[in-house]
């Protein structure tokens, strides 16, 4: 395979690929990776795909050429095809036809957990790397199946935990790990789902949505899950709506995870601590406040300042995530939120769900 040396795009270097031992200041080092624009396709032009992934993938046109869209809904197919200026013959409603004719190297399979396994596995077996939204299936067994299929096909699958790539998270990890281990984090994701109820596809709000912060806790703490102590309650609802978990990792780090779905509205908060440093992300991923060395003076940095962009898709991490996976696809290497790693997040969700007591009576 042809490999040349060239400077990596800054956005690639800003992505969350560095592990705990390698986190360092952002510098433009030369990196080596194969040349070549990746031939990619979308399956699904639904809400999440069209609002987040279509514009983000368009911003990576220097490394990803979007050559086809497949969508069963004609109006959505039109908006998806129009977004990338595709000719009529590259707009498909039949996935098998699209895979056979286009032979994409990478497919963004952006749809809910009840459909995604069959679609993603078909793409993997056709030789494409795949991107999957969270949650990556309806059960741990389904996620395991996607992982097995990816391994058998020697292809990569990435799950969209884009907050790992958010500018504030990248900076918080970088600063903390420069001083030693990350010792603990607290992650909170609250909503008011009393009017709407839980997701209509039968999955719990932990599996479907609180999973974002379960994944963040795993990512920040590193290590393997050693112990889980959890409570699941159902205040004001007849479905599980309140999760509290204390998780110990085998490297000694601890995470406190809360997801309250009967609170007053959407609130997403992460804090992480290391040696004489605390990073407070009260409105993740908009900004981060650092307290260091007992100076008493917090330093506040916005995601726009850190990323150098006012575009939410950039500072939220969606573009960096897609650049990261394009690079992984080129090298046939695991992404930071690979299906293998995401499987551990989904297993932790199940441990929180199963380790929890039965829902308490509505008070
Ligand atoms: N990461 C995040 O922050 C975030 C935010 C919102 C939603 N999500 C996730 O995104 C996922 C998608 O949500 P959504 O609301 O966009 O779903 P959606 O139902 O609006 O979109 C899915 C689309 O896929 C199409 N589709 C399904 N099977 C197909 C097939 N075989 N061939 C062609 N087209 C097919 C459907 O017609 C539909 O238009 C969910 O899992 C959700 O949890 C993630």
Same domain membership, residue 178 and residue 115: no
- Kindly tell me if the per-residue pLDDT of 2 is higher than 80: no
For residue 60, the enclosing domain spans: 35-155
Residues in the chain: 363
Res 357: pLDDT:
60
- For residue 92, report the distance from its CA to the centre of ligand 1, in Å: 16
Q: Are residues 69 and 105 in the same domain?
A: yes
H-run or E-run covering 30:
strand 30-34
Model pLDDT, residue 361: 52
* Cα 159 to averaged position of ligand 1 atoms, centre (Å): 13
Comparing CA positions, the residue from 47, 13, 50 lying closest to residue 30 is 13
In tens, the pLDDT along 316-346 reads 999 999 999 999 999 999 999 999 999 999 9
- Number of structural domains (the chain) is 2
Question: Nearest 5°: CA angle at 266, between 296 and 42?
Answer: 110
pTM: 0.90
The residue out of 109, 131, 155 marking a domain boundary is: 155
Confirm whether 326 is domain-assigned. Answer: no
Q: Clarify whether residues 82 and 180 are in a common domain.
A: no
* CB of residue 133 inside a 6 A radius of ligand 1: yes
Q: How far is the CA of 44 from the centre of ligand 1 (A)?
A: 6
Provide the sign of the torsion angle of the four alpha carbons 217, 307, 285, 344, taken in this order.
negative
- Residue that terminates a domain, selected from 112, 135, 155: 155
- Give the three-state DSSP class for 113: coil
Domain at 89, CATH number: 3.40.50.720
Give the max Cα distance, the chain: 65
Q: From CA 150, how far away is CA 124, in angstroms rounded?
A: 6
pLDDT in tens, 35-77: 579 999 999 999 999 999 999 999 999 999 999 999 999 999 9
Residue 22 phi/psi, 5-degree rounding, is -115, 5
**Residue with CA nearest ligand 1 atom 12:** 111
Q: Whose CA is nearest to atom 15 of ligand 1?
A: 47
Radius of gyration of the chain (CA): 20
Secondary structure letter of residue 286 according to DSSP: S
Q: Is residue 273 part of a domain?
A: yes
């Amino acid at each position: 395979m042809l490999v040349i040396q060239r400077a990596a795009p800054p956005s690639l270097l800003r992505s969350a690929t560095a592990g705990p031992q390698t986190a360092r200041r952002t510098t433009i080092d030369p990196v080596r990776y194969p040349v070549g624009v990746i031939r990619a396709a979308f399956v699904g032009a639904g809400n999440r795909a069209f609002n987040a992934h279509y514009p983000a993938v368009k911003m990576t046109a220097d490394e990803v050429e979007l050559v086809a869209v497949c969508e069963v809904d004609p109006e959505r197919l039109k908006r998806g095809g129009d977004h990338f200026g595709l000719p009529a013959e590259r707009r498909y409603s039949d996935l098998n036809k699209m895979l056979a004719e286009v032979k994409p190297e990478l497919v963004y399979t952006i749809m809910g957990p009840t459909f995604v396994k069959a679609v993603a596995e078909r793409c993997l077996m056709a030789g494409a790397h795949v991107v999957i939204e969270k949650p990556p299936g309806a059960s741990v067994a389904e996620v395991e199946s996607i992982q097995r299929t990816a391994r058998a096909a020697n292809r990569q699958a990435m799950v969209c935990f884009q907050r790992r790539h958010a500018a504030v998270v990248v900076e918080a990890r970088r600063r903390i790990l420069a001083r030693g281990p990350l010792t603990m984090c607290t992650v909170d994701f609250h909503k008011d789902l009393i009017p709407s109820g839980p997701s209509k596809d039968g999955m719990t709000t932990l599996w479907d949505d609180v999973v974002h912060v379960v994944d963040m806790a795993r990512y920040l703490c590193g290590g393997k899950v050693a112990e889980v102590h959890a409570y699941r309650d159902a205040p004001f609802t007849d479905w599980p709506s309140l999760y509290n978990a204390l998780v110990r990792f085998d490297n000694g780090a601890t995470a406190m995870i809360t997801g309250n779905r009967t609170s007053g509205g959407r609130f997403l908060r992460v804090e992480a601590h290391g040696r004489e440093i605390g990073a407070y992300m009260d409105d993740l991923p908009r900004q981060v406040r650092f307290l260091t060395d007992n100076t008493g003076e917090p330093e506040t940095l916005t995601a726009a300042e850190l990323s150098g962009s006012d575009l939410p898709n950039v500072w939220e991490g969606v573009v960096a995530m897609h650049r990261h996976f394009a690079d992984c696809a080129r090298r046939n290497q695991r992404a930071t939120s690979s299906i293998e790693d995401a499987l551990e997040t989904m297993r932790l969700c199940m441990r929180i769900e199963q380790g929890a007591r039965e829902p308490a009576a509505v008070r």
